[in-house]
Structure 1
Amino acid sequence: MSTLAITIVSLIICFFIGMPIFMSLIISAVIAITTCGYLPMSIIHNSLFDGVNLFPLLAIPCFVIAGTLMEYGNITKQIIDVVKQLVGRLPGGLGITTILACTFFAAISGSGPGTVAAIGTLMIPSMVRNGYTPSYAAASASSGGTIGILLPPSNPMIIFAILANVSVTAMFTAGILPGLMVAVCMTSMAMLKAKLEGVKPDVEQPPFNLKVFLKSLSKGGFALATPFIILGSIYTGMATPVEASVIAIVWALFVGIVINKALRWKHIKLSLLEGAMLCGTVLFIVGASTLFGKILTYEQAPLRLANMVFGVSKDPEIVLLMIVGILYFLGMFMETLSTMIILAPVLLPMVVGLGIDPIHFGVIMVITNEVAMLTPPLGVNLFVASRIANLSVEKISLAVLPYLFVLTMCILIVIYCPFLSTWLPSVLGAGQ
């Protein structure tokens, strides 16, 4: 049996027995090194250090801390209040409010499950009180939360930029148009579902009043300014993504403590703890994946995979469809970052060889991983919404099927219309 085959088999066995992702990658890599006999053991600690010694990784825990601080600082509720003024009286208005609020909050936290928790905690009980079924409410929140990884500042976008050696700013910019497209399609589906289920408009929500809306807008002005400050500092060149993540923390503290007077020391400690836990998890996985990726490179795994795929087709769109199919399957069993970290180094040389822009491919990987958040048995957004709505994951899984259809259509549009992800970076000069 070849070294590559031993590596893959040992990785699958580690997954099957429930070994953590980072340990599975390290164990299979060590087995490969001891088996092949031509690689020095020093490659282990060198690769682990190279993987964690990446400056852009600092942005991930900082954005998570900022998003958590904003949730505790009452910013989430202010965002919801403003959005509800605009669309609350439409059919399925609270479902639309949930998805749009998730879209807005996504431009703060960069986390899918975090967005579901922040928005769903407030909106799911509100929808149930107003006559929406628990399954409709949970499906709206869990589906809207997937937008959190497509719009900047997205954690998976940062990871892909590091793996593909492209600009983080370019990846952030590339996700804006596809993210807005997904948001519009999801709100349309929420409205259609509400009409089919006979849900009446929110009886607690008064008709639109410009004076009331402006008052709500004024009250939540600092909260609504948050994503513009974060992203504006990046796109104007005033700050790098890492620096912008620190700006986000400072702004969240200012709004939460000085403006809203809702943030307490215990909230700050919890936010720092959550950021530290995520940072540790990401560093372990990235370091381990760097080691695993080097083993695959030495064994020419990308070249072998490319030869297999090219034996089926060399058409770029067909190859992308095949990759999406693989990601659909793996997404049911693997966490989003893990899927990207393991597959991106293997798939990138192949797609670049076909003339596919790596930034375009990164957007496809991220938007496909949105589907993974809604597909059991490992759909993380489903589990978050399940706890909030006190509903079984099976029932929510059925309720999100229309949103999965919408996401699939959006993925196909992005594949066949690459300008959606490449036009804005070129216009704004966010190069690779």
Structure 2
Amino acid sequence: MIWAACGFLLLLVSGVPIVLALGIAALVAIEVTTTAPVSIVAQRVYGGINSFTLMAIPFFVASGLLMDAGGIARRFVNLASALVGWISGSLYLVSIVTGTGLAAISGSGSADTAAISAVMTPEMRKRNYNIDLAASVIAASGSLASIIPPSIVMIVIAITSNQSIGAMFLGGIVPGLIVMVSLMAGCWIYASRGDDEAYRDTEPFTLKRLGDGFVEAAPGLLVPVVIIGGIVGGIFTATEAACVALFTTLFVTMVIYRELHIRDLPAIFLRAISLSATVLIIISTASVFTWIIATQGFPALLKGWLTGVTDSPVAFLLIVNILLLVVGMFMESISAILILLPILLPIAQSYGIHPVQFGVITALNLSIGLITPPYGICLYVASSVAGRRIEQVSRKVWLPLACMLIALVLVTFVPAVSLWLPSLLN
């Protein structure tokens, strides 16, 4: 176990891609500390992705890319603008509401961040918004895709923890909305203080504007309804829902909006294949690393240490939150889940913590990691589109970070936040 952990950290610090760091560290640990044959690596790599449920990932990724290319993202921005565009700091709020809407389609934080940034950043620059704060808010809006269904992160958590994907999806809805409201409140308070006219919107709210925006965006809103309604209603599995979402998005973008053409599809599907392969190969190599951890008895050692330190669920959750926040700063979400969740979940259950609540806590912590340097992939995407250095944008990340931490505290210590909706529908 020590060989695996030290080797992984050394390779990671050296700049080796995480997929290679996981695989090489696991291979060295197998050779040094076990008598298992090297062929176990191939078996675990194959076993890690030999799952019907994981087939949902490429379909959700493709659906998100089609959404961006086919005009759904732009229409969501227009609807969000009609809904909250009359409030102080309106463009911040529009970005947050749009991120929430896009999260219900794509399941990918970086894809949503890129889509929102491409539409909102030029307008924010034109209106003299603080562009560094704008990039950090857009990054936080994109990170909502890790919490709100059909989150790819939630799918991996459900598979790893042997929980219902439908229950995990439902558990993320209310926390995701709480994060959205918290971000909006923080941005509104920031924009309302002082006399900066850049944050004042002169276009009033009208029902006609809202109605027009809703009618225009309605076909796109059909996609999350189909996904969540189908899974929760037991009509189809998560993988089947992903396929339905893909074809629904194709129909909306090619037949209703007519902004996507057949000639555009090969490039989009190749991009979806590339992104999906990246996720799946991380899952496959992380499964080898997880096997090493399990066979070396590390979960039992960690449980013994934690129970020796405290018998309080509250103290345990505080320790876990700090651990996951730190891990999220340095590691990609899928890898962190596959390595840590099999260790931490049994311990959490021994403290009486529900697996769905713990899964949501894990997802929210790692979504915060998407906006915190040095990893912070959503922050990198937003700063890149804005044409700013990551150091400049990082100075303004405190506002969305504080808002998300407030939501994390609520989700952690009020179980009903994540369990109310699953229990209601069950």
Give, in whole Å, the separation in 2 of the partners of 1:327 and 1:363. Answer: 12
Whether 1:225 and 2:222 are equivalent positions in the alignment is: yes
Deviation by residue 1:133-157 (Cα, 9 ceiling, x = unmatched): 2123212211111111100000110
Partner SS, residue 249 of structure 1: helix
Query: Using a 3 Å threshold, how does the CA distance of structure 1 residues 212 and 26 change in structure 2: closer, same or farther?
Result: closer
1:171–1:363 CA contact under 8 A, matched in 2: yes
Task: Kindly indicate whether residue 208 of structure 2 is the aligned counterpart of residue 215 of structure 1.
Answer: no
Which amino acid in the other structure matches residue 229 of structure 1? Answer: V
Aligned-partner residue type, residue 299 of structure 1: Q
2:204 is paired with a residue whose SS is coil
Cα deviation, residue 197, structure 1: 5.4
CA RMSD between the two structures:
1.6
Find the aligned partners of 1:363 and 1:54 in 2 and give their Cα distance.
22
**Partner of residue 395, structure 1:** 392
Identity rate, percent: 34
Q: Does 1:351 align with 2:342?
A: no
Cα displacement string for residues 35-68 of structure 1 (whole angstroms, at most 9, x for unaligned residues) = 2343233322221111010111111111111011
Residue 272 of structure 2 corresponds to residue 275 of structure 1: yes
Q: 2:60 aligns with which of 35, 59, 63?
A: 63
Contact 2:191-2:199 within 8 A present in 1 as well? no
Checking the alignment, whether the CA contact within 8 Å between 1:230 and 1:245 is kept in structure 2 is yes
Q: Post-superposition shift, 1:131?
A: 2.6
Deviation at residue 118 of structure 1 after TM alignment: 0.8
- Aligned counterparts of 1:189 and 1:396: Cα–Cα separation in 2: 17
What are the superposed Cα offsets for residues 128-184 of structure 1, whole Å, 9 maximum, x if unpaired? 212312123212211111111100000110111111111111111100010000000
Query: Does residue 122 of structure 1 match 2:129?
Result: no
Give the CA deviation at 1:229.
2.0
Q: Structure 2 CA distance, aligned partners of 1:199 and 1:232? A: 43
The Cα of 1:205 is off from its aligned counterpart by 6.1
Aligned to 2:150: 153
Query: How far did 1:199 drift?
Result: 4.0
Partner of 2:166: 169
**CA-to-aligned-CA distance 1:13-48 (integer Å, 9 cap, x gap):** 222222222222222222222223432333222211
Provide the rounded CA distance (Å) in 1 between the counterparts of 2:196 and 2:333: 34
What residue number does 2:19 align with? 22
Q: 1:248 maps to what in 2?
A: 245
Match of 1:312 in 2: 309
Inter-partner Cα distance in structure 2 for 1:411 and 1:212: 34
Q: Tell me how far 1:266 sits from its aligned partner.
A: 4.2
The alignment covers a number of residue pairs equal to 426
> Following the alignment from structure 1 to structure 2, what is the Cα–Cα distance between the partners of residues 405 and 236?
36
- Letter paired with 2:225: F
Q: Secondary structure at the match of 1:225?
A: helix
Which moves more between the two structures, 172-181 or 11-20?
A: 11-20
* Residues 1:331 and 2:328 are matched in the alignment: yes
Q: Counterpart amino acid of 1:412?
A: V
How many Å separate the matches in 2 of 1:221 and 1:392? 37
Q: Single out whichever of 68-77 and 42-51 deviates more from structure 2.
A: 42-51
- Which residue number in structure 2 is paired with residue 85 of structure 1? 82
Distance 1:33 1:354 in 2: 32
* 2:7 paired residue number: 10
Matches of 1:267 and 1:65, distance apart in 2: 13
User: What is the CA–CA distance in structure 1 between the aligned matches of 2:363 and 2:389, rounded to whole Å?
Assistant: 27
CA, structure 1 residues 414+37, in 2 after alignment: closer, same or farther (shift >3 Å)? closer
AA in 2 matched with 1:269: P
SS in 1 for 2:330: coil
| Contact 2:88-2:200 at 8 Å conserved across structures | no
Q: State the distance in 1 between where 2:14 and 2:328 align.
A: 18
CA contact (8 A) 1:80 1:97 kept: yes
* Structure 1 residues not aligned, in runs of 5+: none
Matched AA of 2:72: I
Instruction: Tell me which residue corresponds to 1:112.
Output: 109
- Paired letter, 1:28: A
Tell me if the contact between 2:144 and 2:367 (Cα under 8 Å) persists in the aligned partners.
yes
Asked if the contact 2:96–2:138 (Cα under 8 Å) also holds between the matched residues in 1, the reply is yes
1:38 aligns with 2:35: yes
- Quote the Cα distance in structure 1 between the aligned partners of 2:383 and 2:12: 25
The farther-off stretch of 20-29 and 67-76 is 20-29
- What SS does the aligned partner of 2:197 have? coil
Amino acid at match of 2:301: R
Question: Is 1:206 the equivalent of 2:203?
Answer: yes
Give the structure-2-normalised TM-score. 0.96
- What is the correspondence of 1:295-306 to structure 2 with a 5 Å cutoff? 295-306=292-303
Name the counterpart of 1:416: 413
CA spacing shift, 1:393–1:36, aligned 2, 3 Å: closer
Q: Secondary structure at the match of 1:332?
A: helix
Distance in 2 of aligned mates of 1:121 and 1:102: 13
Equivalent position amino acid for 1:405 in 2: A
Quote the Cα distance in structure 1 between the aligned partners of 2:387 and 2:254: 32
Q: Deviation of residue 198 (structure 1)?
A: 3.7
Given the two structures, how large is their TM-score scaled by the length of structure 1?
0.95
2:131 maps to 1:134: yes
